[in-house]
Structure 1
Amino acid sequence: MTKVIRIGTRDSELAMWQARFVKNIIEHAGYKTEVIPLTSDGDQNLDQPLYEMGITGIFTKTLDIALLNNKIDVAVHSMKDVPTVLPNNISQGAVLHRAASTDILVHKGVDFLEGEGTIATGSLRRKAQWLNKYPRHQVVDLRGNVNTRLQKLEDSEWNGAIFASAGLDRINKKPDNHIVLDWMIPAPAQGAIMVVHRSDDLESQEALSKINHRITEVCTHVERQFLSVLEGGCTAPIGALATNNGDKLNFVGELISLDGKRKARIEKQFPFALAKDAGRICAMKILEDGGAELMEEIKTAMKS
């Protein structure tokens, strides 16, 4: 390949870290690259909760447009932000080895967990799962990049805020005053980085194929398939996690009401080699066992 691969990314500190990480491994595979930062609509509007904006792909749309207009060759995304159906003429090129998938609570002391308290998060999934475990707590909206959210927490009277562990690890901003929420089922593909390209760009496709991590690709495919069949988009309160255990794939998925009072959960194991439809199988089981009615309630509540 003679061309320089132009890597598009959001311009937040975390997104830039991820883009530079992709740059390094593509260059290690023998290619020349440059990073092109862009500002997304999701980064510009910090006053409105994501689920109220009514747009899937709010953090990916700007990069999609730049990609289709040939201003960049590949785009780097936090995979959990990517809609389950990619735009026409855009293809998944690589999924990198997954970092931690867990959520963490950054707190100002944990005594409040046994009583009343206020937690901040911009995620409906985190809000619903938190209220399911701590129904006496209040959950408030929190938007912005990682640094902005950490500062908002410090300046507030909130007891804590929920973050993805991988994001704080990547930019070395994880404070000592945190606990791992190992009971919380993460967003589908949380902790993974996806790189996409124009479908007709065979040179970029070849380069990305050399940095793809197959196990992470399969596990995130199962999680996103589960999300897609449930028709949850990227904002509904749906958690999913697939993990590799030798020749087995372990899956846990959950659909939960907005107030946290009702949930449908499934845990199942599949042969790893036959995991292609595992997400669909688990989602159909959830829907058959009352999840369809719960999903309709969630969609109605989100529209009101």
Structure 2
Amino acid sequence: MKLIIGSRGSKLALAQTYYIKNLLEKIDEDIEVEIKIVKTRGDVDQKAPISQLGLGVFTKELDIKMLNYEIDIAVHSLKDVPTVWNEDLTIAATPERESYHDVLVYSKDVNIEDSIIVGTSSIRRRAFLSLKYPGMRIAPLRGNIDTRLKKLRDGKYQGIVVAEAGLRRLKIDLDALNLSYRILDIPPAPAQGVIGVAARKEDKEIIKLLKKINDSKTYLESTAERWALKTYGEGCQAPFGALARYCIEGEELHLTCSVVDLEKGRIVSEDGKIRCDIEDVKGAKRLAKYIGSRLKEKIES
């Protein structure tokens, strides 16, 4: 079987795509994999805030290529995939999750207990940081990890916020760059640290193949987080964080969601749990719908 995988051209996107390529080649030595780079709107427009570019800014062009049969599957950072998506496409696999944490990367000669300028353009990160770390001065910053690290080292910022998963997947040696990092106490984006492999729903043979690289725990947890956001109803640009954890021994899924109420300057949270089998995606969705609805009620009350 020959598979054409669509990927963005950034170092992180390609690292994730080659990871999927290697997984597929390990399960079937007869698979021939070709990687096709696709530029998305988010890659072309590096200056405009993500919130102004709309949903699917890093995925839409890949989706179109898939629907036009120019690629067979697409590799995404699952947090970038809109919760309301094309009905002809599906997330067929989510390999084991990397770290879900956001981290502050900073120069070793900076005292982060002082008021420092921190770069991030994420609405979620900006909103939670402003309440959790009021001493930080948040400044807009877009670009891939290399671009952001360069601006940090050039002194344009004293700290930047990135996903720990990205640092790990790119094997970035912060010590060699005279940089340190600290895990931040803010809720992650739904499905942060998760790679989502998308396929056309009609391609049953490809989906069957992709299921062999799927991690059921990751799939269950990321489904719960994304369905909570979908229920809340603000799309992936909301100051919304979610984390689901599945306990295999107790067969219990726990979900915590938080959102920043920008008008009242507060963080509102809701959590709950459900007993379910690791393959019980419907159970995860039920829990997520309940948590998302309760959170929305709290914000509106």
Q: So what's the TM-score if we normalise by structure 2?
A: 0.91
Aligned-partner residue type, residue 36 of structure 1: K
Pairing 1:102-251 to 2, within 5 Å after superposition: 102-109=101-108, 112-176=111-175, 177-246=179-248, 247-251=251-255
Deviates more, 1:103-112 or 1:190-199: 103-112
Distance 2:189 2:237 in 1: 9
**Per-residue deviation, 1:225:** 0.6
Aligned-partner residue type, residue 187 of structure 2: I
SS at match of 1:84: coil
**Per-residue deviation, 1:132:** 0.5
Distance 1:65 1:222, change over 3 A: same
* Residue of structure 2 aligned with 1:25, choices 23, 26, 33: 23
Supply the RMSD in Å over aligned alpha carbons.
Answer: 1.8
Q: So what's the TM-score if we normalise by structure 1?
A: 0.90
Conserved in 2, the CA contact under 8 Å of 1:109 and 1:159? no
Q: Deviations over 1:79-121 (max 9, x none)?
A: 0000012213111211111011111100125865444221111
User: In structure 2, what is the equivalent of residue 276 of structure 1?
Assistant: 285
Conserved in 2, the CA contact under 8 Å of 1:113 and 1:134? no
**Per-residue deviation, 1:267:** 2.7
Distance 1:155 1:258, change over 3 A: farther
SS at match of 1:210: helix
Structure 1 residue 262 and structure 2 residue 261: aligned?
Answer: no
Distance 1:118 1:68 in 2: 43
Distance 1:192 1:11, change over 3 A: same
User: In structure 2, what is the equivalent of residue 296 of structure 1?
Assistant: none
User: In structure 1, what is the equivalent of residue 50 of structure 2?
Assistant: 50
SS at match of 2:235: coil
Q: Sequence identity, in percent?
A: 34
Distance 1:260 1:216, change over 3 A: farther
Distance 1:155 1:182, change over 3 A: closer
User: In structure 2, what is the equivalent of residue 285 of structure 1?
Assistant: 294
Distance 1:253 1:225 in 2: 11
SS at match of 1:285: helix
Structure 2 unaligned spans of 5+: 278-282
**Per-residue deviation, 1:147:** 0.7
Deviates more, 1:15-24 or 1:80-89: 80-89
**Per-residue deviation, 1:283:** 1.1
Distance 1:175 1:260, change over 3 A: farther
**Per-residue deviation, 1:157:** 3.6
**Per-residue deviation, 1:204:** 1.3
User: In structure 2, what is the equivalent of residue 299 of structure 1?
Assistant: none
Distance 2:116 2:16 in 1: 34
Conserved in 2, the CA contact under 8 Å of 1:119 and 1:138? yes
Aligned-partner residue type, residue 206 of structure 1: K
Structure 1 unaligned spans of 5+: 294-304
SS at match of 1:234: helix
Conserved in 1, the CA contact under 8 Å of 2:5 and 2:73? yes
Distance 1:258 1:156 in 2: 30
SS at match of 1:72: coil
**Per-residue deviation, 1:270:** 2.1
Distance 1:260 1:100 in 2: 31
Distance 1:25 1:143, change over 3 A: same
